[in-house]
Every structure is written in C-alpha cells, then in structure tokens.
Structure 1
Amino acid sequence: MQLPLHTVCRRSFVTVLKCRNSGNANASLFSHSAGLATQTCKALRYWKHGDPSRVLQLEDVDLPPIGAKDVLIQMLAAPINPSDINMIQGTYAILPDLPAVGGNEGVAKVVEVGSLVKSLKTGDWVIPKDAGVGTWRTEAVLAEDDVISLPNDIPLLAAATLGVNPCTALRMLSDFEDLKPGDSVIQNAANSGVGQAVIQIAASRGINTINVVRDRPEFTQLSDRLKAMGATHVITEDALRRPEIKDLFKICTKPKLALNGVGGKSATELLRHLQFGGSMVTYGGMARQPVTVPVSALIFKDVKVRGFWVTQWKKDHANDGRAFRTMLDELCYLIQQGKLTAPACTEVGLQDYSRALDTAMQPFTSAKQVLIM
C-alpha cells in the first residue's frame, strides 16, 4: 500500500539533520515506522548566500526517519518575511548551516508522531518555536520541542503569520511602557505585518494609534483599510514633519511609545513627538539608515531608546515553558474574537515561489506573500 507523498527534513538550530538531493521523486512511499523505503519532500533550498532569486531552488530532498520524540508535519502555509530574505542573503543576525531550507514562519499539520511524543497528536496544528527551522517545504520531521500547537479553528493565514509579527507587536505594546486605555502609540511602517498587528492589538486595549506610512498614490485606500482595522489616525511621513501636526495632538494625547521599523529620518521624527520620558523601540531598519537621537530629546525629554527582537525574547524565555504559550493563547483569543486578523496576504503556490519572492522584495508592497503548500 502506498501512502501520500510526505516530505521530511529536520533542520533546526537544536538538531540539524543533513538532507541530500533525492534522485527519484517517484520513489515508493511507506509508513515511517516500517522503514522500507526513502521518502522525499519538496523544499526551497539554498546552498550559498546571495540573491534569493538566484540561490533558491525547489528540490526533492530525502527525509530522515521519525525518532521517538519527533513529529512528521505537513506544511500548510508559510509567509515570506523580510528576515527570511535577509537570512538567505547572509545578512541576518543568525544563519543556519548550509545547505538550508528557506523560511522561518508558517503553520503545519501533524500527520505522524513518535512513540514518546506526549504534547502533540495527529491532526494538531503547529508553528515553529524558533527561527531557522526552514518552513518553505511541503513536509518536515522536527523534534516535538521545536514546535508548539495552535487551535485549528482559526483562519489558516492568521495561523501562518502568527509566530513573528503579532508576537513582536504584543511584546512591544506590553513590555516597555505601562499603556492604559486612552494612551497613544505612534509607529512608522504602519502597513507592515507588525504595524497591522499593533493597530489591532492596541485597539482591543483602547489605545490610540498614530500610524505613519510613506506617501503613495493609493494612500486613501491604504488609510481606509488601516482605519477599518482600528487605526485612530493615518498620516504620511511628510505630514509628520509639518507644523500642522501639532493640531493632531490637540485631539489625541502625545504618545508614550514610538515603534520604529524604518530607521533614519523617520525614526527621528517619531522621537520628536514622544511624551516626556517616553520610549522609542526599534524592531526593524527598512531604510538601512542609522537611528539619530537628538541631544535635546535625551536631555530635555528624557526619552528612552530601546530595541526589540522577538527571537531574543524567545531565547530569554526558553526556560519558562508557559511564557510563549501564554502569549500565543492571548493572540489566538483575539483572533477567535475577530479582533486580530492576518495582514493583507497574497496566496502563491510553492511552485510559483519566484514570483512571490520578486513581489515580496518590491517597495510599497502592502500584501504579504504566503506560500501555500
């Protein structure tokens, strides 16, 4: 009896199994526990760092057998994030051993569990706990401890995009300033995945958001879409620099918290509008320019300049088994209540990955590219 084609490669920073090219994509298939033949998966793999359009290849990759504490998962959907691109380019803070499978985020379904697996069962939805697993593939074998379960009654795209951007948004809104209903937050890159999550989580807490985006021909449509999510105000970066911006703070309190995903002049403008003693938290640098902090902001406004990286947060809380679980439960509850939705997404088949990559690397891209397996 032949079973459906499964892909299994384990690649994590805890356990790395070297996968090799399979010369026969039509090899006979089997139950893993039977151990009678070799199965393969389809995976977007790169053997060297560089331009993703040049170094990524869709390959057949052999799978290892399932260990007693492993799970076989079928990837369902995996987004393309800027950090995924940077990792392939070799410019990210952490890099997997090569060859590596692209993608750090996504949702999968458990299709088989090892004999000693206790926390997961067949049919569960799971996401990776950490970066570096390699999610741009059809299946994988991972250690039980490398994944964490999600309820499978939430929308697929919400689950696929949950592990990075919404977690980043929630932590930044929770960990740096004591925000209460009626308080304000200002952010650039407001149409990014993090930005959209910030808008919705803040709205669920009664917190106002001042959302800064780059000027563009379709600004009105973008503004309307962000306001429909719960954005209080949407303005362009040019508007933020004008004297008229003072009128905004007559109807909206000055922000306690600024969230910077851009850097450069955009970050400096956010700092100018913080309350005394407020915080600016930088989580990205899309402009690839340094953050310049005016001396006056430090001396006369006593602002705090901080950074945040969700991967580091996960490492810092790795020994606290409930921290990540509690955060995911809170986010999933918001999703189930209709208060948190996935960012605008474009679904692309895995075989069309080149088109998805090209789109993801273009400026003014408002829709996240999601590979559907």
Structure 2
Amino acid sequence: MFSQLLRRHITPTLQRRATSIEQRRTTCICAQSLQYCENGEPADVLQLVELDISEPKMNEVLVRLLAAPINPADINTIQGKYPVKPPLPAIAGNEGVGEVLRTGGSVQKFKRGQRVVVVENGLGTWRTHANFTEQQLLCIPHEMDLASAATLVVNPPTAYRMLKDFVPLAQGDCIIQNGANSAVGQIVHQLCKAWGLKSIGIVRNRPNLEELKTYLKLLGASEVITEEELAQKDVATKLCKLPSPRLALNCVGGKNASDMAKLLAAKGVMVTYGGMSRKPVMIPTPALIFKSISFCGFWVTHWMREHKGKPERDKMFAELIEFFNKGKLKGAKHEMVPLKEYKTAVAATLNVKGMVGKKYILEMKC
C-alpha cells in the first residue's frame, strides 16, 4: 500500500523533471558564430565557433539569422580601426536579416515566423542564431528578397539621409558623387531617379568602363565620368546640359574630392562619408571665398543612434521598404557565400579595391 502511494506521488514528479530536462535540451540552440578574441586581419583572427543560445528573456526575441553582408565597416571593426569597438571576444557583423523563432513574455511587436532586420550596430550578426531586444529589430515584409533585406540598414539609409538632410533639393536639381558604383552610390542614383533629381557619377577607369556606365545609367545616373575626365579643365563644359550640382557626396577624398568641389554651385554642400583613397579632403580656397561652399561629414551609425525610436527613422525605413517592394530600388550586385566559407568571402572583399562593385553576403545555412 505504501509503495503504491509512493509511486503515485513520486512518478509524476520524476516525469515533470524529465519533461523539464527535455525542454531545456530542445530549447537550447547551438549557434554557429564567427568570433574574434583579438583585433587583427579577419583571416587571422576570425574563428567559426559554436555557442549555446538560451531561451529569450522577457524583452528578448530569439532570431534565426538568414543572411548578413560583409561591409567595409565590418572589416575595419575586426581590425580595430573603426570607432565602434565591441568588447572582446566579439561576434562579427553589424547588419543582417533573420526570422523570429521565439519571443519573451513581454514582447509585443514580434511573433514567430516574422522576418526582421537588426537595426543596431555592434551586436554581431555573423552567426546562425541570437537573442535581441525588441528595440534592436525592425519587422520587414516576407516579399523582400534576402539580399536586399540583409543590406537594408547601412547603405540605403546612408544614401537616403545624405540626399534629405543637407540641401533642400527640388525636382530637376542635380547632385554629384564619387564612388558611384559602390553600394551606396548605386542607391543614390536610384533614389535620385525616384525623386526626379539629376545625378552625376564618378568612377575609376577600368576595362569594362562602357558596360559600367550603361549599368549606372539604367539605375538612374544622368551622366557617368571617370576620375580623369573630372580632372580635365573643360569638364564643366562637358556637363553643361545638366544644372550645376547643389550637393556632392564624397567617399574617396584627396584630389578627387577637390575636383568635385570645383563643380558645385554657389552655396553648395559637400558631404563626406568615407575615405577610400586614405587621403585628406583638400578644400579649394576659391570654393570657400567666392562660392561659399560648405563641407561636412555623415556617419549613419551616429544618425541611427540619435534617432532611435523616433518617427524620422520609421518613416525612412517605411519609404525604403516600399521602394524595394515596388522595384524602384534594388540592392547592389552581390554573391551569396555559405557561412563556413567566410575566409574566401572576406579575402574577396579586401581585394575588390572599389573596382568589382559586388557585395559578398554570408548565408547562414547550418
């Protein structure tokens, strides 16, 4: 009789414990992650490791990452040359797209199966799974293609904000930019086309120059010239069919930026957002004295932090997503690379030197 009572009380307890253990086994996820324990060249310091991911906390969302791009800022962060310096050991990657697996008890915005992008810098997206807070994610439509979604948070906002925030541009106005075949440059040309703006693109000379010019004009560029053509004294005459640019976007620096500044209209603005030549921006004195040209910089990471939770950020993403869905925007040329082949992708990114115009995107297939 006693043994029957004992079994009646103990057996359910043991069953509950067994169920609890089994739940922990099934809910704990082993994620593959690209981690670095010291700063240095990516090929030397990155390691593909396995990390256990726990159940999401009350305000967290468990996400299965699907794809994440390799941006120059990601490389610089790993090298320790970027202003954002995550505590080590760190997981690489600053943007990416994923799918919601589970949510914490207090999460209101997200539910299982939704597509999301990571909108906060330095969280580590080169991995298969991670927990994020609600504020670190943005829901996107399933219809958005994987590559465009993976690259939504850095390049499109950079192009969007530089066109919106520095000069009040009206339809028919003209802008000029170097690095026109870069991921940002391609978005700039497309946004100009969507908003009725003229755009001049500057690129490096190369064997397939005419093919590149044709491609950029299909995106929306009004004219495409080489750095050598920009430096010629009669360049303004060659561009006379277009209004003098009111805005210049610079990601190169050096003489290239100085030559661009000479073409700006009076009271024009040059915005610098990169320095691929690693040479300083040399400001022509006449541009300051006689034309009142202004020079300033832009860093999208800083803008995103300042506008976290603000309507301007939500409005921007809503418009960008709508443009992608309607075909007014398309992402830069890209190549999807399996996560385990990261060394090949990183090496290719370091070797492109601004000439290939192709972005490498890590695909998080286990």
Q: TM-score, normalised by structure 1?
A: 0.89
Which residue of 66, 74, 79 corresponds with 1:89?
A: 79
Partner residue, 1:275: 265
Q: Where is the helix percentage greater, Structure 1 or Structure 2? A: 2
Partner residue, 1:370: 361
Which residue of 90, 99, 114 corresponds with 1:100?
A: 90
State the 1:71 CA deviation.
Answer: 0.7
User: Over residues 20-61 of structure 1, what are the superposed CA-to-partner deviations in whole Å (9 max), with x where a residue is unaligned?
Assistant: xxxxxxxxxx99993347431001110000001110111111
The residue identity in structure 1 corresponding to 2:362 is L
2:109 match: secondary structure: coil
1:168 match: secondary structure: helix
State the 1:227 CA deviation.
Answer: 1.1
The residue identity in structure 2 corresponding to 1:372 is E
Measured in 1, the distance between the counterparts of 2:87 and 2:104 equals: 26
Measured in 2, the distance between the counterparts of 1:36 and 1:370 equals: 31
Partner residue, 2:16: none
Measured in 1, the distance between the counterparts of 2:86 and 2:51 equals: 17
Measured in 2, the distance between the counterparts of 1:96 and 1:32 equals: 34
- CA distance change for structure 1 residues 319 and 371 in 2, over 3 Å: closer, same or farther? closer
Whether 2:299 is the aligned partner of 1:330: answer: no
Partner residue, 1:244: 234
Partner residue, 1:190: 180
The residue identity in structure 1 corresponding to 2:217 is K
Measured in 2, the distance between the counterparts of 1:217 and 1:249 equals: 23
Matched length: 343
Partner residue, 2:347: 358
Partner residue, 1:16: none
The residue identity in structure 2 corresponding to 1:98 is L
Partner residue, 1:25: none
- CA distance change for structure 1 residues 152 and 33 in 2, over 3 Å: closer, same or farther? farther
The residue identity in structure 2 corresponding to 1:323 is E
Matches within 5 A, 1:213-232: 213-232=203-222
Partner residue, 2:162: 172
Measured in 1, the distance between the counterparts of 2:292 and 2:276 equals: 26
1:34 match: secondary structure: helix
State the 1:216 CA deviation.
Answer: 1.0
State the 1:267 CA deviation.
Answer: 1.0
State the 1:248 CA deviation.
Answer: 2.9
2:24 match: secondary structure: coil
The residue identity in structure 1 corresponding to 2:43 is S
- CA distance change for structure 1 residues 98 and 248 in 2, over 3 Å: closer, same or farther? same
Measured in 2, the distance between the counterparts of 1:71 and 1:110 equals: 7
Measured in 2, the distance between the counterparts of 1:228 and 1:33 equals: 56
**Contact 2:48 2:340 (8 Å CA) reproduced:** yes
Measured in 1, the distance between the counterparts of 2:225 and 2:80 equals: 34
Whether 2:101 is the aligned partner of 1:124: answer: no
1:172 match: secondary structure: helix
Matches within 5 A, 1:56-67: 56-67=46-57
Measured in 2, the distance between the counterparts of 1:261 and 1:200 equals: 18
Matches within 5 A, 1:197-346: 197-320=187-310, 322-346=311-335
Which residue of 98, 108, 125 corresponds with 1:135?
A: 125
**Contact 1:32 1:66 (8 Å CA) reproduced:** no
User: Over residues 247-299 of structure 1, what are the superposed CA-to-partner deviations in whole Å (9 max), with x where a residue is unaligned?
Assistant: 23320011000000111111111111100000000011111111111111111
Measured in 2, the distance between the counterparts of 1:257 and 1:248 equals: 19
User: What is the RMSD of the two structures over their aligned residues, measured on CA atoms?
Assistant: 1.6
The residue identity in structure 1 corresponding to 2:87 is D
**Contact 1:32 1:65 (8 Å CA) reproduced:** no
User: Over residues 118-137 of structure 1, what are the superposed CA-to-partner deviations in whole Å (9 max), with x where a residue is unaligned?
Assistant: 01111111111211011111
Partner residue, 1:26: none
1:35 match: secondary structure: helix
Stretch moving more, 230-239 or 144-153: 144-153
2:86 match: secondary structure: coil
Measured in 2, the distance between the counterparts of 1:323 and 1:70 equals: 24
State the 1:221 CA deviation.
Answer: 1.4
Q: Which runs of 5+ in 1 are unaligned?
A: 1-29
**Contact 1:359 1:365 (8 Å CA) reproduced:** no
**Contact 2:55 2:62 (8 Å CA) reproduced:** no
Measured in 2, the distance between the counterparts of 1:45 and 1:164 equals: 21
- Calculate percent identity across the aligned residue pairs: 42
Measured in 1, the distance between the counterparts of 2:119 and 2:226 equals: 35
**Structure index of larger Rg:** 2
- CA distance change for structure 1 residues 349 and 36 in 2, over 3 Å: closer, same or farther? closer
State the 1:183 CA deviation.
Answer: 0.7
Q: Which runs of 5+ in 2 are unaligned?
A: 1-18
**Contact 1:347 1:369 (8 Å CA) reproduced:** yes
- CA distance change for structure 1 residues 132 and 91 in 2, over 3 Å: closer, same or farther? same
Whether 2:23 is the aligned partner of 1:34: answer: yes
Which residue of 26, 37, 40 corresponds with 1:47?
A: 37
Partner residue, 2:68: 78
Measured in 1, the distance between the counterparts of 2:173 and 2:313 equals: 26
Q: TM-score, normalised by structure 2?
A: 0.91
Large movers: runs of 4+ above 4 Å: 30-33
**Contact 1:167 1:327 (8 Å CA) reproduced:** yes
Whether 2:171 is the aligned partner of 1:181: answer: yes
